[in-house]
């Protein structure tokens, strides 16, 4: 399903300013401003622009490009800056890393518009997703480009003509300018391998919808910097399932970034993992050591005194994320909620309270938070939701009896519970992962 558009031929445009040194979120270079103004003033069809200002770091550049294409659904992404010959200029390599096909002819045209065409290395590539094909181009951040787009010079119109033709050929929107376009330049095509898709959700384009909780809000579920999206890099098949996965206390969203690959290697479904980051906070049970955690912990006895407000706030954010994914066209029955340790606790708490059933819940080495309220607060949809819950018999972080007690409670409410134990500590073992794959295959 393609991203929703206000108009059938609306251009969804991404503009990325790559800074040479540090990233100031309030900074907006003149080239990006000029490009946005040119597209808005010259196109006869609507334009929705999503601007990003990021540091010249390869991981950040790749993540941003994948966010704009895979999550927001931009038809065209233009980056400015950092395309020189030095080792610090990371944009060309980052662009090729996210590409499925390269366009040598368009890249040559871009090079002719740079300040130093001999030393500049702009790239023009296509990135394919199950929903669409998007064009990503690099341009220089210099007065020559700004002047070309800030006037009626033919250079800008010529460049736009090639971009327009490319978008038409790959099934993009039919866009045009108010001025006659210059003769079109043929595009040469060559191949470039795709890599793992890693991106962050963005609040700029998300449809604001009500969550599973009462009332509506315009606040995004998570900041884009705190969302990581990963798909397997061992297959080109489209993702059949979307998994929202919460990490454990003291970890971050990269902790389970290898899970999509491991699931496919064991014969499981192709999954898109959405990995949010918990906020950094000081834990009452361990003062003086701020760490990422979904809620506060008051003692090492997890069921002693619990941070109810923190748990409820996080559950609301996760519910908003589920709603956002639905608004992007992902069916609810193909969304799985999962996590490890404290993240598993949040998966259980949130998933069991959804008004409509999810595709499934996976809870590893976790427990049921606010267990005394479960019977009163669990929704009827919990009976329809498949649940996989697993724990180590020698877990030194969350006592096995706490997890087992929660599993018994869930079993009385949710008949589709699968409970497994393993001879292990607070960890994930291959045997457990194989059982997860069998559970996920049964969801298909």
- Given a contact cutoff of 8 angstroms between Cβ atoms, the answer to whether 318 and 220 are in contact is no
Q: Give CA–CA dist 14/139, Å, rounded.
A: 13
Helix (H, G, I), strand (E, B) or coil at 387: strand
Nearest to 28 by CA among 12, 16, 41, 43: 16
Nearest to 302 by CA among 285, 324, 278, 320: 285
Query: Which of 341, 391, 404, 425 does the annotation list as catalytic?
Result: 341
Query: Which of 176, 379, 426, 435 does the annotation list as catalytic?
Result: 426
Q: Give CA–CA dist 359/440, Å, rounded.
A: 9
Among all chains, which residue has been given the structure tokens 């970034």? Answer: 257
Q: Give CA–CA dist 62/123, Å, rounded.
A: 14
Distances (CA, A) of 232 to 95, 261, 380: 19, 5, 34
Question: Residues near 406 by Cβ (< 8 Å), separated by ≥ 6?
Answer: 348, 367, 368, 371, 389
Question: Residues near 366 by Cβ (< 8 Å), separated by ≥ 6?
Answer: 339, 340, 341, 342, 343, 344, 345, 347, 348, 389, 391, 398, 403
Q: Give CA–CA dist 353/357, Å, rounded.
A: 9
- Given a contact cutoff of 8 angstroms between Cβ atoms, the answer to whether 261 and 230 are in contact is no
Is 150 an active-site residue?
A: no
Find residue 299's DSSP bridge partners.
none
Find residue 420's DSSP bridge partners.
390
Is 341 an active-site residue?
A: yes
Query: Which of 75, 140, 255, 395 does the annotation list as catalytic?
Result: 395
Find residue 297's DSSP bridge partners.
306
Is 102 an active-site residue?
A: no
Helix (H, G, I), strand (E, B) or coil at 268: coil
CA triplet 202, 205, 210: central angle to 5 degrees? 95
Extract the runs of DSSP E, i.e. beta strands, from 115-270: 124-128, 133-139, 190-191, 198-199, 227-230, 241-246
- DSSP alpha helices (H): ranges in 139-265? 143-149, 154-169, 259-265
- Given a contact cutoff of 8 angstroms between Cβ atoms, the answer to whether 174 and 154 are in contact is no
Q: Would you please indicate which residues are annotated as catalytic (active-site) residues?
A: 341, 395, 426
């Amino acid at each position: 399903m393609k991203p929703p558009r206000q108009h059938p031929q609306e251009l969804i445009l991404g503009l990325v300013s790559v800074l040479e040194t540090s990233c100031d979120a309030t900074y907006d270079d003149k080239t990006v401003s000029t490009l946005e103004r040119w597209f808005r003033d010259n196109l006869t069809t609507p334009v929705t622009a999503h601007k990003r200002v990021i540091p010249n770091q390869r991981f950040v550049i790749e993540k941003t490009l994948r966010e704009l294409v895979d999550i927001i659904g931009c038809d065209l992404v233009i980056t400015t800056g950092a395309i020189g010959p030095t080792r610090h200029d990371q944009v060309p390599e980052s662009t090729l890393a996210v590409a499925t096909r390269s366009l040598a002819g368009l890249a040559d045209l871009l090079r002719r518009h740079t300040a130093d065409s001999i030393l500049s290395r702009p790239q023009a590539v296509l990135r394919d997703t199950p929903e669409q094909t998007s064009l990503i181009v690099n341009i220089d951040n210099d007065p020559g480009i700004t002047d070309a787009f800030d006037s009626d010079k033919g250079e800008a119109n010529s460049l736009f003509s090639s971009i327009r033709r490319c978008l038409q050929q790959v099934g993009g929107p039919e866009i045009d300018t108010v001025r006659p376009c210059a003769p079109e330049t043929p595009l040469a095509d060559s191949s470039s391998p795709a890599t793992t898709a890693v991106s962050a959700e963005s609040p700029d384009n998300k449809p604001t919808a009500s969550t599973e909780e009462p009332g509506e809000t315009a606040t995004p579920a998570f900041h884009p910097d705190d969302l990581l999206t990963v798909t397997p890099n061992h297959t080109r098949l489209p993702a059949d399932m979307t998994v929202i996965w919460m990490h454990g206390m003291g970890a971050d969203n990269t902790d389970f970034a290898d899970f999509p690959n491991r699931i496919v290697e064991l014969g499981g479904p192709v999954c898109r993992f959405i990995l949010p980051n918990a906020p950094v906070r000081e834990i009452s049970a361990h003062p003086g050591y701020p760490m990422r955690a979904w809620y506060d912990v008051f003692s090492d006895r997890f069921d002693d005194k619990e941070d109810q407000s923190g748990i409820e706030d996080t559950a609301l954010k996760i519910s908003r994320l589920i709603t956002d994914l639905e608004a992007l066209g992902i069916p609810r029955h193909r969304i799985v909620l999962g996590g490890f340790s404290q993240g598993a606790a949040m998966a259980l708490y949130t998933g069991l309270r959804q008004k409509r059933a999810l595709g499934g819940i996976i809870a590893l080495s976790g427990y049921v938070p606010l267990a005394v309220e479960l019977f009163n607060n669990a929704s009827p949809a919990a009976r329809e939701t498949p649940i996989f819950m697993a724990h180590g018999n020698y877990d030194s972080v969350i006592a096995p009896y706490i997890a087992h007690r929660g599993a018994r409670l869930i079993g009385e409410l949710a008949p589709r519970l699968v409970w497994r134990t393993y001879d292990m500590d607070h960890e994930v073992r291959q045997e457990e992962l194989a059982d997860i794959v069998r559970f996920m295959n049964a969801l298909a």
